[in-house]
Amino acid sequence: MKIALAHDHLNQIGGAERVVFAMHQVWKDAPLHTILYDRNKIGDFFNSLEIKTSLVQKLPFSASKLRWYLFIIPFAMGKFDFSGYDAVISSASAFGKYVKVPRGCVHFCYCHTPTRYLWSEPSTYIDEVGGNFLIKKTWPFVLEYLRKQDLVASEKVDYFIANSKFVAERIKLYYKRDSNVIYPPVCTTGYPKEKKQNYFVMVSRLRPYKKIDIAINAFNRIRAKLVIIGSGEDLGRLKSIAGKNIFFAGNVSEKKKKKILSGAAGFIHPQIEDFGISAVEAMAAGTPVAAYSSGGANETVLDKKTGLFFEEQTWQCLADCVIKMRKMDFDYSFIKSHAENFSREKFMSNIKSFVENRIDKKE
């Protein structure tokens, strides 16, 4: 059985990239096809994979200015040759599903979300692009073209796999396609046994949609300690509103992250995530989660058992949630065992069975 992998682009290491790596652990000989590969940002994370890049890789400034080339990405992704393969598994929140497979080859798309800037958040993306008057005027036409290309690509996928029920609903809404849910892989081992201390923690890219400012405002008001792990373009603004009780740890090693998660009194999750790997990692460390009741958190966090929900995305509601959590007695062993439902091993077993059973049926 000959399998190939495809992915949007390799210019960061996030949840989607860890999904791809777990797929590689299942199909070790499968080459990975992607728009571009930025080794300066990825380091040696994907050294064990055979990586094939598109023509965009050779274009000027493609690593830093990928948005310049959005118009040609559907063409570039469709130029990969999958002759002789039984199946292609694309990992996609944007371009991965644009691959074109030959007759007899099955295309599975592991969908992290239907492309946000085309469907659920187009106005936000246009604001982020910036640029001169001409760019802002032409950008909606570019997005409309890409939206049509995205729909065409979705129609050619044989099987959609969603990373959560929340994403499955979006796939149905935007692509009019059914999907099967296979939760993404989470590292649930290697967390040290630490005594719970008087601080809370977040692990996130520092971007506006992550709603880190809500957490900062809440912790400023209740004067509780908050450790924020991660980096991003919103760092300057967030530091400007943070009190002395807020500590920005930046990017830390996996070992240090696990230690911080294990010792925290709670994990803060104020954003809407398609799944939310970091929240599950916190539970794997035995740490309860204060979560906004939306998105993937509704599928991973058990209210009053592995965490506590708040219903409005405001600092006031989050502050109230944290105050309540401080008074609760959680069963940390139960929290850890619950996280095992989302382990890397379970993901690998589930996706292997799903893919190979359907290839066998087609044959």
At 199-214, the pLDDT tens digits run 999 999 898 889 999 9
Write down the pLDDT at residue 57.
93
Regarding whether 143 and 48 lie in a shared domain, the answer is yes
Is 195 part of any domain? no
Q: How confident is the model at residue 63 (pLDDT cuts 50, 70, 90)?
A: confident
Name the DSSP class of 27.
S
Please classify residue 354 by burial: count the beta carbons closer than 10 Å to its beta carbon, then call 0-12 exposed, 13-18 middle and 19+ buried.
middle
Regarding whether 104 and 38 lie in a shared domain, the answer is yes
Beta-sheet strands, E only, within 13-74: 32-34, 51-53
pTM for this predicted structure: 0.90
Q: What is the 3-state secondary structure (H, E, C) of 186-232?
A: ECCCCCCCCCCCCCEEEECCCCHHHCHHHHHHHHHHHCCCEEEECCC
Name the DSSP class of 287.
-
Write down the pLDDT at residue 337.
97
The distance in angstroms from the start CA to the end CA of the chain is 11
Task: State the chain's mean pLDDT as an integer.
Answer: 92
pLDDT digits (tens, 9 = 90+) for 119-176: 877 666 555 555 556 666 777 788 888 899 999 999 999 999 999 999 999 999 999 9
Regarding whether 127 and 155 lie in a shared domain, the answer is yes
Regarding whether 134 and 32 lie in a shared domain, the answer is yes
Regarding whether 27 and 172 lie in a shared domain, the answer is yes
Regarding whether 227 and 158 lie in a shared domain, the answer is no
Is 9 part of any domain? yes
Q: What is the span of the domain harbouring residue 145?
A: 3-185+344-362
Regarding whether 163 and 18 lie in a shared domain, the answer is yes
Is 191 part of any domain? no
Is 194 part of any domain? no
Regarding whether 300 and 348 lie in a shared domain, the answer is no
Is 169 part of any domain? yes
Regarding whether 208 and 164 lie in a shared domain, the answer is no
Write down the pLDDT at residue 54.
94
Is 162 part of any domain? yes
pLDDT digits (tens, 9 = 90+) for 299-348: 999 999 999 999 999 999 999 999 999 999 999 999 999 999 999 999 99
Write down the pLDDT at residue 11.
87
Is 192 part of any domain? no
CATH label of the domain that carries residue 292: 3.40.50.2000
Is 190 part of any domain? no
pLDDT digits (tens, 9 = 90+) for 64-107: 888 788 889 999 999 999 999 999 999 999 999 999 999 999 99
If one counts the domains in the chain, the total is 2
Write down the pLDDT at residue 131.
52
Regarding whether 240 and 152 lie in a shared domain, the answer is no
Regarding whether 98 and 19 lie in a shared domain, the answer is yes
Angle at 45 between CA 40 and CA 51, to 5 degrees: 80
Regarding whether 123 and 104 lie in a shared domain, the answer is yes
Write down the pLDDT at residue 6.
97
Q: From CA 122, how far away is CA 131, in angstroms rounded?
A: 16
